[in-house]
Amino acid sequence: MNPQIYMLSEEGIKVLAEQITENIRSSFKNKFSSDEDEFLSIDETAKLINLKKSTIYGLVHKNDIPHFKNGKKLRFQKREILDWIKDGKRKTKSDIQKQADTYLANNNLI
């Protein structure tokens, strides 16, 4: 095996070092600090989903919203809140009809 030797100028070395550093930072950021994995306060959660704090307290009391409680502090994981909102999507009549047709077709009831 013949090792290859590359000659870089000082400027080329700086550019290469910056690219390597940026790749490492990007990799680290994606691995350890995903925006959706962050924890939110009740104020931040209220702002995110456009509800009043009192409404969120009510949802917490009824265990209708995903949350964490450490002593008196409430925390909400952003990803879980976004998933909770998506799960609450109402199906249209068309969606329900398609689901019923699929069920009937798969269970030989037609």
Residue 49 lies in a domain: yes
What is the CA 78 to chain-centroid distance, rounded? 6
Burial of 84 (0-12, 13-18, 19+ CB in 10 A): middle
**Res 36: pLDDT:** 60
Residue 78 lies in a domain: yes
Residue 17 lies in a domain: no
Domain of 46?
Answer: 35-87
Residue 18 lies in a domain: no
89-103 pLDDT tens trace: 777 888 888 888 888
Which residue is associated with the tokens 């269970």? 107
Residue 76 lies in a domain: yes
Q: Give the CATH number for residue 67.
A: 3.90.105
**Res 37: pLDDT:** 75
What is the CA 84 to chain-centroid distance, rounded? 11
Give the count of domains, the chain.
1
Residue 81 lies in a domain: yes
Residue 105 lies in a domain: no
Query: What average pLDDT values come out for the chain (110 residues) when binned by 10 residues?
Result: 78 84 75 69 94 94 91 92 86 83 78
Residue 43 lies in a domain: yes
Provide, for the chain, the percentages of residues in helix, strand and coil under a 3-state DSSP scheme, each rounded to the nearest 5.
60, 10, 30
**Res 31: pLDDT:** 55
**Res 33: pLDDT:** 52
